[in-house]
Amino acid sequence: MEAQDLPTLHDLEQLSEVVRGHDLGRDLYLRWSRGPGFDADSVSRDALTGVELPGLSANPLRVESWWGSRSLRLWVARRLHDYRHLRDRQPGADVRAWLLAGTEVARGPDNEPLVACDRPLAWVAEEALREAHRLVTEQKSDWGSLDRQA
């Protein structure tokens, strides 16, 4: 499927439904980049050393057992919120969040999954990112993104 043909998930409920329908996110990942077409010809690199990594850096959506019966919407909101800074840290324009089914091939320098993209699934709309920010903010905690430079 070409990037322009990917559907767009407009809110957290749509993203939650995809995760629910995919064995609670098993083998689902969020990636922040220009999209699957761009990533087909690129590699992830360790930001500190420049070392080429054996897969694409991505964020797992699989719901962990310790999450229990808590809100799936909150789970996906947190996953979006945790790494939203990546959009602003990559050179060039048009960096967006997108969902993929993938196979983990290694772990990166921050212990993040490095994946091979088996199938791009959908773009994540800006509205879903704003909704994720609102939902995380409503938790009244000191939680921020995982941005080291913030």
For the segment 49-53, the average pLDDT, to the nearest whole number, is 94
Q: What is the reported pLDDT for 97?
A: 94
The SS3 of residue 70 is coil
Would you call 88 helix, strand, or coil by DSSP?
Answer: helix
Return contacts of 105-108, CB within 8 angstroms, 24+ apart: 105/54, 105/55, 106/53, 106/54, 106/55, 108/44, 108/46, 108/53, 108/57
The reported pLDDT for the residue numbered 110 is: 87
Residue 115 has a pLDDT of 96
- For 85-142, the pLDDT digits (tens) are 666 666 666 889 999 999 999 999 989 999 999 999 999 999 999 999 899 888 876 6
Percent of residues, the chain, with pLDDT higher than 70: 84
> What pLDDT is attached to residue 107?
96
CA distance linking residue 60 with residue 62, whole number of Å? 6
DSSP 24: T
Mean pLDDT check: name the lowest of 40-44, 55-59, 104-108, 116-120. 40-44
Token couple for 88: 């602003």
Q: Please compute the mean of the pLDDT values over residues 2-30 and round it to a whole number.
A: 92
The pLDDT score that the predictor gives to residue 140 is 75
